[in-house]
Structure 1
Amino acid sequence: MKVMQLLPELNSGGVERGTLEVAKALITAGHESLVVSNGGRLVPQLEAEGSQHLNLPIQKKSLASLWQVRPLRRLILQHQPDILHVRSRVPAWITHLALRGIPVAKRPHLISTVHGFYSINRYSAIMTQAEKVIAVSNSVVDYITSHYPNCPPADIVRIYRGINPQEFPHGYQPAAQWFQQTFHDYPQLEDRFIICLPGRITRLKGHENLIELIATLRKKFPRLHAVVVGGADIKKAAYLDELEQKIKDKGLVDDITFVGHRSDIREWLAFSDVVLSLSTQAETFGRTALEALSLGTPVIGWNRGGVAEILSQLYPQGLIEVDNQAALLNAIERQVQQPDYIPAVTQFSLDEMCGQILALYQSVVERKY
């Protein structure tokens, strides 16, 4: 098979990571892999792993992106992929328009992946207009069937995202050098009970909840220290300032540390005593929660969305009624007093995810699905 995946850019994020993982699986299985995007820092890795990257500015949510319809059509006709796999709304629209200019008999098969709970409108509906629509969790399946009745349920395929357990091995501990560097950079973290909130700086991730949590618990448990792992882009700088001011006002400067965007997320998740998932909106999957559990770190999160699906299967004790602050406090207290042992994770593997996606590709090409 020859598969062409399309997404806005290749910098960082779950969509980008999933694209590289599927691309690598295609190459490993002896297929051809093409990726169309506006480029980014992950392109060298993509190409080193055997895929071909085709640069096209299909990332902007503006009418100007329509200028890319003809260039994309030329790429499709030139490379003649068996399958087009769209992973975002702007590329999906450009792809649909490009296909209109290709005779039906010569068009590749079209597959989409719904990665998010998009706003419900005609613009988002494009993600449900494909031969097969991959949903990354049961929560996403429910979202599609509830809001887009024109998408036949038989065309929706639930394929959980997955992780490589060898990258997040159970019981993993960072190297001594990592601890040495971390305590040099952040001496306030040494000999503390670490509560980690991973995720970029945005109002959706629940940072205010974390601040209130530490303000309430720090007198009872002076060893508690919160670490926020995630950066703030330029547009979110004002929100980061707002959070830091709130921390100062509550006298928590010595109790909460922001470490910014990190490439060593595995080490931070393993170093932490508890990982929190407090997003103010449901997550479609919750990969970071899965990574932490795979390492053996307890995760406490709101009972909704993809995170709830992961926790209900792997660590139901970590499920907390949404916005129930008392239950959240009790769960943290329980961990401080008697940490839970997390058994090795055997579900949600990367091999399983890639195998299901490649099987879907094959079945679509063979028209047997």
Structure 2
Amino acid sequence: MKVMQLLPELNSGGVERGTLEIARALVTAGHESLVVSNGGRMVAQLEAEGSTHLTLAIHKKALSSLWQIRPLRKLIEQHQPDIVHVRSRVPAWLTHFALKGIPANKRPHLISTVHGFYSINRYSQIMTQAEKVIAVSDSVVKYITDNYKNCPTEDIVRIYRGIDPAAFPHGYQPSAQWLNQTLKDFPELENKRLICLPGRITRLKGHETLIHLMEQLQAQYPDVHAVVVGGADPKKAAYLQEMQDSIAAKGLSDRITFVGHRSDIREWLAFSDLVLSLSSQAETFGRTVLEALSVGTPVIGWNRGGVAEILSNVYPQGLVTVDDETQLLDTLKLHLDQPQHVQPISMFSLKEMCDQTLELYTQVVSQHSA
């Protein structure tokens, strides 16, 4: 099989990582893998793992992107993939128009993945207009069936995102070298119990809730320290400053550390005693929650979206009623007073995700060639 995946760019993020994982699985299984995007820092890895990258400016939410329809059609005609797999709305629209210009008997099969709870409108509807629509969690299946009645339920396929348990082994401990360097960079973390909030600095990730929790914990738990693992986009600099001012005003500057954007997330999740998931909007999956639980660190999070699906299957004692800050504080205190054990995880594996996706590709191709 020859599969062409389309996404805006290849810099960082869950969609990008998923694209690379499926590309690698295709190559490993002896198929041909093509990826079309505007490029980015993950291209080198993609190509090193045996895929072909085709650079096309399909990343801008602007009318000028319509100029890419003809070049995209040319790429599809030239490479003749069996399947085109779109993972984002601009590429999905461009593909929609590109395929219109190809005779029906020469068109590849079209698959889409709904990675997000997109705004509900005609623009987003394009993600549900494919032969098969992959949803990354049951919450996403519900989002599609509730909002896009034009999408037949039999065309929706739930394939959970997955992680590689070998990359996040149960009981993992950071190296002595990592610990020494970290305590050198952040001496305030020594001999502390750490509560970690992973995720980039935006209003959606629940930083204010974390600050409020730390305020309530400071008298009773002087050894508890919060770590925010995630960078701030230059556009979010004002929000970061606002948070730091609020932390200083509450006298918490020596209790909360921002470590910025990190590529050693596994180490931070394993180093922490507890991980929080406090996003103010439902997440479609919640990969860091799964990564934390995989290494054996307990996670406490709001009971909604993909995070609730992971916690209810793997660590139900971490579920907290949405926005119930009293229950959140009580659950946190319970974990601090009686450290909890997380069992090794047997579901949500990367292998399952790749196997199910490749199986779907094969099914779509063979159904129609039969």
Distance 2:9 2:274 in 1: 32
Distance 1:245 1:114 in 2: 38
Look up the match of 1:222: 222
User: Residue 323 of structure 1: SS of its match in structure 2?
Assistant: coil
**Which runs of structure 2 are paired with 1:9-24 in the superposition (5 Å)?**
9-24=9-24
Distance 1:299 1:106 in 2: 49
Deviation at 1:236, TM superposition (A): 1.2
Q: 1:134-165 CA deviation, whole Å, 9 max, x = no partner?
A: 00000000000000000000000000000000
The one-letter code of the counterpart of 2:136 is V
Distance 2:360 2:218 in 1: 50
**Which runs of structure 2 are paired with 1:173-212 in the superposition (5 Å)?**
173-212=173-212
Deviation at 1:366, TM superposition (A): 0.8
Look up the match of 2:337: 337
User: Residue 366 of structure 1: SS of its match in structure 2?
Assistant: helix
Distance 2:98 2:63 in 1: 15
User: Residue 367 of structure 2: SS of its match in structure 1?
Assistant: coil
Look up the match of 2:73: 73
Distance 2:67 2:137 in 1: 34
Structure 1 unaligned runs (5+)? none
Residue 287 in structure 1 maps to residue 263 in structure 2: no
Look up the match of 1:364: 364
Deviation at 1:337, TM superposition (A): 1.1
Residue 269 in structure 1 maps to residue 269 in structure 2: yes
Aligned residues: 369
Q: 1:310-363 CA deviation, whole Å, 9 max, x = no partner?
A: 000000000000011111111111111111010100100000000000000000
User: Residue 196 of structure 1: SS of its match in structure 2?
Assistant: strand
Distance 1:237 1:358 in 2: 41
User: Residue 110 of structure 1: SS of its match in structure 2?
Assistant: strand
Q: 1:46-67 CA deviation, whole Å, 9 max, x = no partner?
A: 0000000000011111111111
Look up the match of 2:83: 83
Distance 1:219 1:97 in 2: 61
The one-letter code of the counterpart of 1:340 is Q
Distance 2:38 2:247 in 1: 38
Look up the match of 2:233: 233
Deviation at 1:79, TM superposition (A): 0.4
Identity %: 73
TM-score normalised to structure 1 length: 0.99
Distance 2:57 2:181 in 1: 39
Residue 38 in structure 1 maps to residue 29 in structure 2: no
Deviation at 1:234, TM superposition (A): 1.5
Look up the match of 2:59: 59
Look up the match of 2:296: 296
The one-letter code of the counterpart of 1:191 is N
Distance 2:52 2:239 in 1: 38
Distance 2:318 2:100 in 1: 48
Q: 1:246-286 CA deviation, whole Å, 9 max, x = no partner?
A: 11111111000001110000000000000000000000000
Look up the match of 2:146: 146
TM-score normalised to structure 2 length: 0.99
Q: 1:23-67 CA deviation, whole Å, 9 max, x = no partner?
A: 000000000000000000000000000000000011111111111
Distance 1:249 1:80 in 2: 61
Look up the match of 2:247: 247
Residue 131 in structure 1 maps to residue 131 in structure 2: yes
Q: Which of structure 1's runs of 4+ aligned residues deviate more than 4 A?
A: none
Residue 313 in structure 1 maps to residue 313 in structure 2: yes
User: Residue 281 of structure 1: SS of its match in structure 2?
Assistant: coil
Distance 1:190 1:70 in 2: 58
Residue 159 in structure 1 maps to residue 149 in structure 2: no
Distance 2:131 2:65 in 1: 24
Deviation at 1:238, TM superposition (A): 1.2
Look up the match of 1:257: 257
Deviation at 1:237, TM superposition (A): 1.2
